[in-house]
Amino acid sequence: VKPALPALAQLIHSNDEEVLTDACWALSYLSDGANDKIQGVIDAGVCSRLVELLLHPSPSVLIPALRTVGNIVTGDDLQTQ
């Protein structure tokens, strides 16, 4: 899983809506679980871009971005700061 995170961190900066959708869903699945999985996503440096994507006009991007942020905030106190 960890080798995929740098690629996903790049893909969420794409202008292609389908690429954004797929990358956000992948991050959502990867962040759904134990705190170490959440930490891996945080360490990939995607949080600020995910927050930006919460303003995306397309629900197909917005929904998986929101789900990923939601998964991250289920982590421990350090992860949710």
Tell me the CATH number at 23: 1.25.10.10
State both tokens at 70.
């939601």
Domain count, the chain: 1
Q: For 1-81, where are the alpha helices, taking DSSP H only?
A: 4-11, 17-30, 35-43, 47-53, 59-72
pTM: 0.93
| 34 within some domain | yes
Domain that holds residue 30: 4-72
| 36 within some domain | yes
| 44 within some domain | yes
| 80 within some domain | no
| 77 within some domain | no
| 79 within some domain | no
User: Per-residue pLDDT for the chain (81 aa), expressed as one digit of tens each?
Assistant: 789 999 999 999 999 999 999 999 999 999 998 999 999 999 999 999 999 999 999 999 999 999 999 999 998 888 777
